[in-house]
Amino acid sequence: MSVRSSRLWPGVLLTAGTVALTACGSSGTSASSASTAAASGSAAAPGSASGSTQPGQVIVKVTEADGCVATPDTVPAGQVTFVVTNVDAVGVTEVELVADQRIVGERENLAPGFDSTFSARLDGGTFEIYCPGASTERTTFTVTGQAAAQDEDLTALLTQATKDYAAYVDDQISFLLVPVQQMADAIHAGDLPAAQAAYIKARPFYERIEPVAESFPLLDPAIDLRIGDVEQGTPWTGFHPIEQGLFEKQSTEGLGELADQLIVDIKSLQTQAQQLSAATTTGTDGGYQAFEIANGAATLLDEVLASKITGEEEAYSRIDLLDFEANVEGSLQAFATLKPALNQIDPTIVPQISTAFDTLTAELNKFKDPNSPSGWVAYDQLTDADKKALVDALLVAQEPLSAVAQKITQ
């Protein structure tokens, strides 16, 4: 079941809530992945995607007529490179490879005439290629061979989870840099509507991986501090003073330096996250730990309860629900990387949490508003009863999720 509506243009119509809840039929699918982005925006030669493919390479051709078509649509397990070519599908801007709720790999910002590549290590199972906005949005993709997860020991599964999560975080930060740069450009050009749109476009990428950013004690305050948390004598930097300028003062004036500094800080976040990923991949000290990912999943929901539900996060732009949804998606993705391991530890907890996420997402989706710039109802329009319904749905997911870290370290 999908709750994601496609967006027409990245940025203008942020109706894309982003929880891709695709229930694939395969049991115990364990997609191990290292989703690495490459060659974004490289120009595709006309008809370049029609030729034969090399072993381990899958051409995903996106056309107005047929939607997303993968050639071949069945591959043996192993390292697979996906070359996504948007031939002429104006409505499609992103493609995802999804395995049992988890985004194994994705490319954003696709346009007709361009191609983009990502690769992933895939174990046997059934996947879905999801192209929001295409004439046919979902196609099945099959990987033959061992569904390795079932046979491997728990330690290996947990290690794989950390690698998967590392890839997810790196992707989100690379996607984040694009709108942040656009926002800085717009601010320097004095283009208020463009700067506001870019702000809205950027926020979800950060909110999805906020626990990772928080693990760097200097960076998160520099990037995401709200005014009430600024210590005396410290400058207020990051997203929120920019938000105040763009949405309360309705001006780009004086924001140029803040926007430039934000780019520097996010690039620094990217470097540090990449170091974490590298350590995770090589198995050296200092990489992601599985229990941290579990804690992160729970933290994201705490974050919602603490600052989104109160309406503190986006006090000027009122796009709190967009952040809310991004926190939930980030939490779900963190949880989804742990699923294969959790299935061994406690088979009952996985369906329980998955269902809770489905319920929460459905509750949240009631507040979608395509006419709003963020794609969501402005937060000050919510009644107390609305907020209570959201909190109730949150708690149902948070309770079992908060127990996961402890189960992993047992």
What is the DSSP secondary-structure string of 126-141?
Answer: EEEEE-TTSSS-EEEE
Using the minimum distance from each CB to another protein, give the nearer residue, 104 or 134.
Answer: 134
Rounded to a whole number of angstroms, the minimum distance from the CB of residue 26 to another protein is 27
Residue pair 19/4 in contact (Cβ under 8 Å)? The answer is yes
Using the minimum distance from each CB to another protein, give the nearer residue, 124 or 132.
Answer: 132
Using the minimum distance from each CB to another protein, give the nearer residue, 85 or 333.
Answer: 85
- The whole-angstrom separation of Cα 271 and Cα 235 is 23
Rounded to a whole number of angstroms, the minimum distance from the CB of residue 85 to another protein is 8
Rounded to a whole number of angstroms, the minimum distance from the CB of residue 204 to another protein is 16
- The whole-angstrom separation of Cα 228 and Cα 225 is 8
Q: In this structure, what token pair is assigned to residue 302?
A: 């705490």
- Residue tagged 């995607």 (tokens): 49
Using the minimum distance from each CB to another protein, give the nearer residue, 16 or 293.
Answer: 16
Q: Which residues bind another protein (CB under 8 A)?
A: 5-13, 15, 40-41, 43-48, 63-64, 67, 85-92, 109, 111-114, 133-135, 178, 181-182, 185-186, 188-189, 191, 194, 197-198, 201, 368, 370
Rounded to a whole number of angstroms, the minimum distance from the CB of residue 8 to another protein is 6
Q: In this structure, what token pair is assigned to residue 105?
A: 């790999």
- The whole-angstrom separation of Cα 12 and Cα 387 is 27
Using the minimum distance from each CB to another protein, give the nearer residue, 200 or 293.
Answer: 200
Using the minimum distance from each CB to another protein, give the nearer residue, 136 or 234.
Answer: 136
Sign of CA dihedral 168, 125, 135, 368: negative
Rounded to a whole number of angstroms, the minimum distance from the CB of residue 231 to another protein is 34
Question: How buried is residue 231: exposed, middle or buried, by Cβ count under 10 Å (0-12/13-18/19+)?
Answer: exposed
40 sits in which H/E element: strand 36-43
Using the minimum distance from each CB to another protein, give the nearer residue, 255 or 294.
Answer: 255
Rounded to a whole number of angstroms, the minimum distance from the CB of residue 407 to another protein is 37
Using the minimum distance from each CB to another protein, give the nearer residue, 64 or 399.
Answer: 64
Length of the chain counted residue by residue: 410
3-state SS class at 71: strand
Rounded to a whole number of angstroms, the minimum distance from the CB of residue 177 to another protein is 11
Question: How buried is residue 1: exposed, middle or buried, by Cβ count under 10 Å (0-12/13-18/19+)?
Answer: exposed
Using the minimum distance from each CB to another protein, give the nearer residue, 17 or 400.
Answer: 17
Rounded to a whole number of angstroms, the minimum distance from the CB of residue 377 to another protein is 12
Burial 263-296 (b: 16+ CB within 10 A, else e): eebbeebbebbeebbebbeeeeeebbbbbbbbbb
Rounded to a whole number of angstroms, the minimum distance from the CB of residue 125 to another protein is 28
Rounded to a whole number of angstroms, the minimum distance from the CB of residue 6 to another protein is 7
In angstroms, the Cα distances linking 410 to 162, 168, 291, 342 are 17, 26, 10, 12
Q: Which residues contact 181 (CB under 8 A, 6 or more apart)?
A: 263
115 sits in which H/E element: strand 114-122
Using the minimum distance from each CB to another protein, give the nearer residue, 85 or 299.
Answer: 85
- Kind of pairing, strands 74-76 and 138-144? parallel
